[in-house]
Structure 1
Amino acid sequence: MHSSHSPRSSQPGTLPGQLVAVSLWLVLAIEGAEVLLRGAPAGLPPLSIAIGALTLFVAAVVATFSLRYMRADPHQGRYYARLGLLAASVLAFVTSQNLIVLGIAWLASGVLLAALIGHRSGWAEAQASARRTRRAFLIGDGALVAGLALLGWQAGSADIATVLAATPAMPATVAVPAALLLLVAAAARCALPPFSGWLLSSMTAPTPVSALMHAGLVNAGGFLLIRFAPLFEAAPAARLAALIVGLVAAIHGVGIMMVRPDVKRALAGSTVSQMGFMIMSCGLGAYAAALWHIVAHGLFKAWLFLGSGSAVGMKPRPEGRETAGFAIPAAALVTLVLGGLLVLLGKGDATLVPLLLGIATAVATLAGSIGSAAPARARVALAGGVIALVALHAAGLALIHRAVGPDAPALVPGWALVGLLAAFLGAWLWQQQRLNARRALPPQLYVHLINAGAFRPAAN
């Protein structure tokens, strides 16, 4: 009688996978040691170092996780080759100082990502998802190439530093179209509406690919906007467009997350929302907050996706609804009053909205944990964890602020920032009240959200 497990499937990864995983860890260690000992390479901005380190770390973790996850896959060699090339292409456009290299590496990363989404060649839905991804990237990548070509032509150089130095003097007829084209490219890669379908339907990808995609590759849009921040500062109309697009995406993603019963697609909705919030922060000019958002969200979302299989069959833990119902309105009110006071004191800058919303969430969590029905030891531990997390975020944001420099000049007046803050807090309160009252969404809205990213049935 033969064993049901072949020798191949019982091995914790084949040689190609081990080579890719070890190579990624080695590159991360060598580059990290070099930056610590010698400092950043000349001409390489802190943004590139931060995103490059995040990409290498997540890719190395994903490759290591894949050694067991993909051990029975008959196409492991192809999978690991694409994974390694994808990490290399992202590093290439993140660290590039040349428009042509950035464009080529960006295009290559899109092709490789679509191929990994369609890794299961015999699965029709996986191939359909890969085709949808390619179509979305075709639009976004075409916009990127056009925008970069327009900038290079106007500046008379393919050197990124030269182009950025020339942007303040560029005529609006060049700066605004170029910035809008880069915004389209960022929206497509970040899966913002109307491009969110490719990410929501990409659940056919192996779970390690989903982790890499949500934790690293969708952040490319944020990197692009921060890298070309001088261009957007010279084109306020494009910044306003980024603010509006990001706001719509943030709300849309939360709606999807609310209705999806499956773990991975609910996480995809969360990613759409988070990317929208990050693009909105870029539009406001809060570059440090946007970069810290990229790093924190990338690490957190990688952990969630790699552990998503463990969430199947888990029951939600009962919470004290009364306490939560009190904590969230109290946190929202305090946050709104604090925001108004900061604006009146002349302290209302671009970081106001993302920073205060983060504080509101932490305060509500802390208040809910202290007043919950859980044992005292558990409440103290949770409260300590929330305080430590707030301190970590404050330290990380301060460090990144020093690295990337000041925020952009205000895009909107202080009262508009308070209004934007009030809109987010109001939506948060409405959602909590709806959950407490167990009220369903309007049927048409529910159907739209539950079908987001689904494939339309083929016509007969």
Structure 2
Amino acid sequence: MVETMLAVGALAATVFAAIGGAVVGRWSADLGSRIAVYLTAIGWIAAICLALLRIVTPGVKGTAGVALPGLTIDRLAVLMLVLVLGLSTLIQFFAVRYLRGDPRQVWFVVTANLVTAATALMVCASTVLGFGLAWIAAGASLIALLATYSHLPQARDGVRRTAIRFAVGDLPLIVVVVVLLVIAGGDVAFADLGRSMAALPPALATALAILLVVPALARSSQVPFHGWLPATLAAPTPVSALMHAGVVNAGAILILRFSPAIGESVIAMAVVFCAGALTLGFASAVRLVKPDVKGRLVFSTMAQMGFMMLACGMGAFAAAVFHLIAHGLFKSTLFLSAGSGIARDAQQRAWPSRQRVRWPQATASLALAVAVPIGSIIGARVLLGIQLTPASQALQIFVVFTAAVALGTTLLAHFSTTTATLGSLGIVMLTFGYTALISVFDSTLRFAPAPAAVNAWWLIVPGGALLVLQLLQHVRSGTRISHRLYARALAAGTPITGASRHPINSPEGALL
């Protein structure tokens, strides 16, 4: 009974927040905004209390949940509720001050809470029809949220691009939902989705699984639907924070909920993996050449979403949830502190220039970059004595690549005994912490294995590509190849808009 009340309170809080903000905001925008954020905070507190009951309570299976009509509050839903409501609350608290006196303050409050409410319902939906309706509502609310500054040409272009790609992505989901409703003679619960798909002809089941991948890629701004996210730079900072920290994660939620269908299709899982790997490499390359803070954050988000999709394609669903949560917390912090980017850049320019590394130092740097990550992964598995799913174990290959690149780059830039010691210790601590957290997520969420998961050895391809990309940064800047790579990456990351008369770095956009 208590769990049901907490679940209803968490879900209803954002709906009342949107209504309260709209009604009270007609007389006082500031008061309406405060009422809305306080109501959202109440929902967040209810979600935290629910999490303590559902996750901390021993003996509760990861797939068990509170039974509500059309909803399920399992452990995944509880984690997502805490994340979504928490980020929305913190971002709205920031926006109360950021947008004070702005004529569009009430619009932001109402649409932000509509996005939050639709997303909360989506992660808690227990049937394909309920998920589809919440998915469409979340997309429509986000488009309205992006129209906060609709008087700007860049904002209108971003709304148009987002609406087109969302429509293209949502259409396959609608087709799948309708087909399942017709074949099953009614709504299909996610708990019964696996049996429903198994009863279909193999060709039809594969086609439906592939169609389900399309909306996930579109909502998470993955190749080839990646054009909408870079076009949203004209959105105010609170909108960007909410979008990058929460909304773009919806693609992974779709794959997780529909994993009984997608995880059985070799083609669908391969598409998820390949799209994630391509986006990871593309966005990582473009991010290196973006001159503006928000532009770098946009492509950083795309790269992280690519990594998340890559993990889903391997069947590492628990690891994908961990990265989803970590990215949401990290990216919201970066966006809300984007205003201090100039001060940080000035501070970084004051750092000592890069030193020339001699061969003995370079050899030691490369040796440490290879030995420390590999040794840390092996040591973490042995000393911690934890068990990981095969997919999560495979994902540690990518962790080794990332840690090796990070440590090697640092030591090649500034080699000394101090940097070598601190850098190696940092890699060891991060590796041990990552392994322990992934183990916690594996044991807590307990996702069913994906029979059609991509083989772990394919991780060598995106890992090697990122390693080559990192090495290309050290190519002399005056060479022809460096000029070509820079120009191509910069052009690929610059959307061609109809509002080119008012570029994003114009005075109108600089204040957003």
- Normalised TM-score (structure 2): 0.77
1:430 maps onto 2:459 in alignment: no
Q: Contact between 1:117 and 1:130, CA under 8 Å: does it hold in 2?
A: yes
Alpha-carbon shift at residue 371 of structure 1 (Å): 9.0
Q: Contact between 2:146 and 2:239, CA under 8 Å: does it hold in 1?
A: yes
Alpha-carbon shift at residue 97 of structure 1 (Å): 1.2
Alpha-carbon shift at residue 170 of structure 1 (Å): 2.8
- Structure 1 residues 150, 211: closer, same or farther in 2, change over 3 A? same
Q: Deviations over 1:208-245 (max 9, x none)?
A: 11111111110100111011111112211111111111
Unaligned runs of 5+ in 2: 1-28, 58-64, 382-387, 502-512
Structure 2 residue matching 1:119: 3-state secondary structure? helix
Alpha-carbon shift at residue 30 of structure 1 (Å): 1.3
Residue equivalent to 1:21: 37
Alpha-carbon shift at residue 424 of structure 1 (Å): 3.3
Q: Contact between 1:187 and 1:193, CA under 8 Å: does it hold in 2?
A: yes
Q: Deviations over 1:129-151 (max 9, x none)?
A: 11111111111111211122223
Q: Contact between 2:475 and 2:482, CA under 8 Å: does it hold in 1?
A: no
Q: Contact between 2:233 and 2:294, CA under 8 Å: does it hold in 1?
A: yes
Q: Deviations over 1:331-388 (max 9, x none)?
A: 3577689999x9xxxx993234432222443455467778985998888777665544
- Structure 1 residues 179, 324: closer, same or farther in 2, change over 3 A? farther
Q: Contact between 2:51 and 2:79, CA under 8 Å: does it hold in 1?
A: no
Residue equivalent to 2:19: none
1:399 maps onto 2:437 in alignment: no
Structure 2 residue matching 1:85: 3-state secondary structure? helix
| More off after superposition, 434-443 vs 244-253 | 434-443
Residue equivalent to 1:41: 66
Q: Contact between 1:35 and 1:41, CA under 8 Å: does it hold in 2?
A: no
1:357 maps onto 2:398 in alignment: yes
Whole-angstrom distance in 1 between the partners of 2:45 and 2:338 = 28
Alpha-carbon shift at residue 435 of structure 1 (Å): 2.1
Q: Deviations over 1:40-95 (max 9, x none)?
A: 42443322222222111111111111111111311211110111111001001110
Residue equivalent to 1:10: none
- Structure 1 residues 410, 232: closer, same or farther in 2, change over 3 A? closer
Q: 2:165 aligns with which of 122, 136, 147?
A: 136
Whole-angstrom distance in 2 between the partners of 1:308 and 1:325 = 37
Alpha-carbon shift at residue 247 of structure 1 (Å): 1.2
- Structure 1 residues 63, 328: closer, same or farther in 2, change over 3 A? farther
| More off after superposition, 379-388 vs 152-161 | 379-388
- Structure 1 residues 324, 110: closer, same or farther in 2, change over 3 A? farther
Q: 1:193 aligns with which of 209, 223, 226?
A: 223
Residue equivalent to 1:267: 297
1:119 maps onto 2:159 in alignment: no
1:252 maps onto 2:293 in alignment: no
Q: Contact between 1:369 and 1:383, CA under 8 Å: does it hold in 2?
A: no
Whole-angstrom distance in 2 between the partners of 1:132 and 1:173 = 33
Residue equivalent to 1:203: 233
Q: Deviations over 1:226-274 (max 9, x none)?
A: 1111111221111111111111111111111111111111111111111
- Structure 1 residues 430, 37: closer, same or farther in 2, change over 3 A? closer
Whole-angstrom distance in 1 between the partners of 2:363 and 2:97 = 43
Work out the number of aligned pairs and report it: 440
Structure 1 residue matching 2:186: 3-state secondary structure? coil
Whole-angstrom distance in 1 between the partners of 2:233 and 2:363 = 34
Whole-angstrom distance in 2 between the partners of 1:72 and 1:89 = 27
What letter corresponds to residue 294 of structure 1 in structure 2? L
Whole-angstrom distance in 2 between the partners of 1:304 and 1:258 = 17
Residue equivalent to 1:77: 106
Q: 2:256 aligns with which of 211, 226, 233?
A: 226
Whole-angstrom distance in 2 between the partners of 1:326 and 1:431 = 21
Percent of aligned positions with the same letter in both sequences?
A: 30
Residue equivalent to 1:296: 326
Structure 2 residue matching 1:409: 3-state secondary structure? coil
Q: Deviations over 1:188-225 (max 9, x none)?
A: 00001221111011111111111111111101001110
What letter corresponds to residue 47 of structure 2 in structure 1? E
Whole-angstrom distance in 1 between the partners of 2:95 and 2:53 = 32
Alpha-carbon shift at residue 442 of structure 1 (Å): 5.6
Q: Contact between 2:87 and 2:332, CA under 8 Å: does it hold in 1?
A: yes
| More off after superposition, 352-361 vs 362-371 | 362-371
- Structure 1 residues 143, 123: closer, same or farther in 2, change over 3 A? same
Residue equivalent to 1:9: none
- Normalised TM-score (structure 1): 0.85
Q: 1:285 aligns with which of 296, 310, 315?
A: 315
Alpha-carbon shift at residue 96 of structure 1 (Å): 0.9
Q: Contact between 1:335 and 1:357, CA under 8 Å: does it hold in 2?
A: no
Give the 5 Å matches for 1:318-397.
Answer: 318=352, 322=357, 327=365, 330-332=368-370, 349-362=390-403, 365=406, 386-397=427-438
Structure 1 residue matching 2:306: 3-state secondary structure? helix
Residue equivalent to 2:85: 56
| More off after superposition, 129-138 vs 42-51 | 42-51
- Structure 1 residues 207, 399: closer, same or farther in 2, change over 3 A? same
Q: Contact between 1:285 and 1:408, CA under 8 Å: does it hold in 2?
A: yes
Structure 1 residue matching 2:288: 3-state secondary structure? helix
Alpha-carbon shift at residue 449 of structure 1 (Å): 2.8
- Structure 1 residues 369, 455: closer, same or farther in 2, change over 3 A? closer
Q: Contact between 2:365 and 2:415, CA under 8 Å: does it hold in 1?
A: no
Residue equivalent to 1:97: 126
Whole-angstrom distance in 2 between the partners of 1:324 and 1:178 = 52
Residue equivalent to 2:306: 276
Whole-angstrom distance in 2 between the partners of 1:431 and 1:329 = 19
Q: 1:411 aligns with which of 436, 449, 453?
A: 453
| More off after superposition, 125-134 vs 47-56 | 47-56
Q: 1:174 aligns with which of 193, 204, 212?
A: 204
Structure 1 residue matching 2:273: 3-state secondary structure? helix
What letter corresponds to residue 113 of structure 1 in structure 2? L
Residue equivalent to 1:3: none
Whole-angstrom distance in 2 between the partners of 1:455 and 1:267 = 19
What letter corresponds to residue 82 of structure 2 in structure 1? A
- Structure 1 residues 188, 24: closer, same or farther in 2, change over 3 A? same
Residue equivalent to 2:509: none
Whole-angstrom distance in 2 between the partners of 1:265 and 1:295 = 22
Whole-angstrom distance in 1 between the partners of 2:453 and 2:34 = 49
Whole-angstrom distance in 2 between the partners of 1:428 and 1:21 = 41
Whole-angstrom distance in 1 between the partners of 2:245 and 2:108 = 18
Whole-angstrom distance in 1 between the partners of 2:300 and 2:356 = 23
